[in-house]
Amino acid sequence: MTVTAYTLAVVLDLFCVFLGYGFLFRPASSAAGYGVPARPDGDAGAYLTIKGLRDGTFGLLGLALLAFAGAQAEAWFMVCVALVPLGDTLIVLRNGGTKAVAFGIHFATAVVVLISAGLLFAV
């Protein structure tokens, strides 16, 4: 179970880094994948950059916690970070995104993050 717990945590942390990279360097396509496309007539650049920085930082922080503080710290981090995809679910629903994206991507991500936290607590 230890290998599974650590592997899932590392994969999720690296995924956050990957998402952050996408929003920093490919903001329009990343926004579309998020479920709420950026409006071409609006200035969403700053907000997409903020999201990229947030996601990338969460990934790097998660990796640092796992490497230097251990499984318990990473587990509590995952519990807190699960609020982000739960909030993203509501954001997508409130801004015209599909239920499939809201629940199939964002809510499912929150569930996987909480499963990861549970596995880490069990280590």
Q: Where are the domains of the chain?
A: 2-122
Q: What is the mean pLDDT of residues 19-34?
A: 92
pLDDT of 42 reads 65
Q: 95-122 burial, b for 16+ CB within 10 Å, e for fewer? A: eebeeebbeebbbebbebbbebbebbee
> For all residues of the chain together, what is the average pLDDT?
94
SS3 4: helix
Least confident of 18-22, 39-43, 44-48: 39-43
Residue pLDDT, tens place only, 47-98? 889 999 999 999 999 999 999 999 999 999 999 999 999 999 999 999 999 9
pLDDT of 43 reads 64
DSSP 40: T
Q: What is the pTM of this model?
A: 0.92
Both tokens of residue 93?
A: 């629903």
CA distance 110 to 88: 10
Examine the pLDDT at 38 and tell me if it is beyond 90: no
